[in-house]
Amino acid sequence: MQTTKTHVALLASPGMGHLIPVLELGKRFATQNDFQVTIFVVATDTSTVQSQLRNLPNPHLFNIVSLPPVDISALLDADASIVIKIIFMMRESLPALRSSISTLKPRPTALFADLFGTEAFQIADEFEMLKYVYIASNAWFLAATIYFPTIDKRLQEEHYGRKQPLMIPGCRSVRFQDTLDAFTDPKDQLFDEYLRIGLEMVTADGILVNTWEDLEPTTLASLRDGISKLLPIYPIGPMVRTMGSSHMSENSSLLEWLDMQPTESVIYVSFGSGGTLSANQMIEVAWGLELSQQRFIWVVRPPMDNDVSGSFFKVGDGSSDGTPDYLPDGFLTRNAKMGLVVPDWAPQAEILGHASVGGFLSHCGWNSTLESIVNGVPLIVWPLYAEQKMNATMLAEELGVAVRPNEMPTENLVKREEIEMMVRRILVDKEGQALRSRVKELKHSAKKASTKGGSSYNALSQVAKQCEMSLQGLMAKVMG
Ligand code: UDP
């Protein structure tokens, strides 16, 4: 009978979209497996991250270690992409991670690093820890990332040079217009970093992915048949925040307003933790919502031209007073009865879980996508950056739970008439009902996967078992 608790360490890269699924995984290890959990967070000074960490609903479940901030300004141009900045911050944090792990008692038996943390595997090796990648996205994204570095240079060139689809054996291919930014320019530093990440991933003891068997059966089967024959893949999702994740006192008026609206009548509009629209696009969204004559909650932040992820490290800095000057004159007054405009940050898990919400216009970050699915809310897809275009295609074309604009919002201005029409398609038209019943099926399959005996529950138990066995092995070694 084992008496010492198994201790695992999780490493989250900067950004709310990365931190949230890691916190959920930590919570699951603590509650489902009774593990001791240490979560390493690479520090950023965004007020949202800090306030989330201060206000965790279950702080006793794990130990959070904020690694000291690193200065990457001398290493990169100021206009380097957000992903490159994250990669460099992770790299520069490795010495602090190493020294912090060396002080932990008992020493963790495993390290779970997200996509941008795979360089920390060298530290896991030094301390004889198991090492896992935690892909806080879906299996299709995992397949693209792990497969790309292994293919012939000529096939890579077909994709980025001749804009041909990226064929992934056994999986849906990735159209060039949906592809990852990292796969578009071999001269960009990001291209090489992604190749490195893909190669490092296969050195892990296993890969956890935030999806579930019934959501992506074909992709998971082909991953297992192909590239990952020797590398176990564990679909453990959906790992999502649920109601009760936010401190509601600040948001009680918002929920009171929702309480007064008819069932499934409100469209929630949000572009994630960092998504930003251009000034002209903000105006079109505002008019589209107004013309639709439907109820809405819209999380706004100041527009930025030519930077779709411009708010990634800036969330929480905006003003919270008055009508933002980037919205059409009189917008708030004209729409006072029909909608709410929330500056910067809203309690998304609570909003999507509210019965009055009937649709989500989303940038399709994977957390937002899952939060919509587990609440049975159909989507209007509005992908901006990272793997969001792939997610949008999956939602609209494969899963059948979303409508999409005719052209990519990153390529062309989506006009107010089209926005008005998409909102009505989701909230008013028969089409919306069909999408809603499909997404509710997915909601049930998600629930089934996560409950005791379900595929994701079992997959996480298998990972936990490996960690426990490793601990027993280490203890046996110490006892001689
Ligand atoms: N989120 C939130 N309130 C907001 C914006 C975002 O609570 O106003 C949360 C959202 O619920 C999700 C995460 O932040 O859990 C965003 O992650 P996602 O993967 O959707 O997108 P990213 O921000 O990484 O692009």
Summarize pLDDT for 383-420 with one digit per residue, the tens: 999 999 999 999 999 999 999 999 888 889 999 999 99
**What would the pLDDT profile of 165-182 be if each residue is shown by its tens digit?**
999 989 999 999 999 999
Ligand 1 pocket, residue 409 CB under 6 Å = no
pLDDT at 227: 72
- For ligand 1, say whether the CB of 241 is within 6 Å of any of its atoms: yes
- Token digits for 90? 């992770």
- Residues in Cβ contact with 136 at an 8 Å cutoff, skipping those fewer than 6 apart: 17, 18, 21, 22, 114, 115, 210, 239, 366, 367
Could you tell me if the CB of 366 is within 6 A of ligand 1? Answer: yes
Given this model, what pLDDT does residue 248 score?
56
Do 207 and 138 meet the contact criterion of CB atoms below 8 Å apart? no
273 C-alpha to ligand 1 centroid (Å)? 5
pLDDT band of residue 324 (cuts 50, 70, 90) is confident
Name which residue sits closest to atom 16 of ligand 1, judged by CA: 17
Task: Please report, for residues 86, 89, 235, 449, 452, the alpha-carbon distance to residue 457 in angstroms, rounded to integers and kept in the order given.
Answer: 31, 33, 9, 6, 6
Counting every residue, how long is the chain?
A: 480
Question: Mutation test of ligand 1: which of 181, 368, 373 has the most ligand atoms closer than 8 Å to its C-beta?
Answer: 368
Gap between the Cα atoms of 162 and 341, Å rounded: 43
ipTM higher than 0.95? yes
Are 420 and 403 in contact by the 8 Å Cβ rule? The answer is no
Which atom in ligand 1 lies closest to the alpha carbon of residue 18? 24
Structure tokens belonging to residue 291: 């013309």
- pLDDT, residue 46, reads 63
Task: Assign 319 a pLDDT band (cuts: 50, 70, 90).
Answer: very low
Tell me the CA–centroid distance for residue 272 and ligand 1, in Å: 4
pLDDT in tens, 191-247: 999 999 999 999 999 999 999 999 999 999 999 988 767 899 999 999 998 766 565
Ligand 1 binding pocket includes 345 (Cβ within 6 Å): yes
In angstroms, the CA 174 to CA 119 distance is 27
Contact yes or no for 259/303 (Cβ under 8 A): no
Q: What is the pLDDT of residue 90?
A: 97
In the prediction, which pLDDT does 479 show?
78
Tell which one of 180, 273, 345, 410 to mutate to probe ligand 1, the residue whose CB is within 8 A of the most ligand atoms.
273
pLDDT of residue 316: 44
| Amino acid 315: pLDDT | 43
Does residue 69 have a pLDDT over 60? yes
Which amino acid is present at 164? Answer: Q
Token couple for 387: 């793997």
Residue 307's pLDDT band, with cuts at 50, 70 and 90, is confident
Protein residue whose Cα sits closest to atom 24 of ligand 1: 17
Q: Which pLDDT does position 50 carry in this prediction?
A: 73
The least confident of 42-51, 129-138, 442-451, 456-465 is: 42-51
C-alpha–C-alpha distance, residues 376 and 352, integer Å: 9
pLDDT tens for 94-145 read 999 999 999 999 999 999 999 999 999 999 999 999 999 999 999 999 999 9
Pairing of strands 206-209, 130-135: parallel
State yes or no: pLDDT of 91 exceeds 90: yes
Tell me, in angstroms, the distance from the centre of ligand 1 to residue 68's CA. 24
Ligand 1 touching residue 353 (CB < 6 A): no
Q: What is the DSSP letter of 6?
A: P
What is the distance in A from the centroid of ligand 1 to the CA of 47? Answer: 14
The pLDDT of residue 320? 45
Residue 381 confidence class, pLDDT cut points 50, 70, 90: very high
- Active-site residue list: 18, 114
Q: What is the pLDDT of residues 346-370, one digit of tens each?
A: 999 999 999 999 999 999 999 999 9
Whether the Cβ atoms of residue 449 and residue 213 lie closer than 8 Å to each other: yes
pLDDT at 111: 98
Ligand 1 center from residue 55 Cα (angstroms): 16
- Quickly state the pLDDT bin for 476 (edges 50, 70, 90): confident
pTM of the model: 0.94
256-263 long-range contacts, CB within 8 A, separation 24+ = 257/340, 258/297, 258/351, 258/354, 258/356, 258/357, 259/354, 259/356, 261/295, 261/356, 262/356, 263/355, 263/356, 263/358
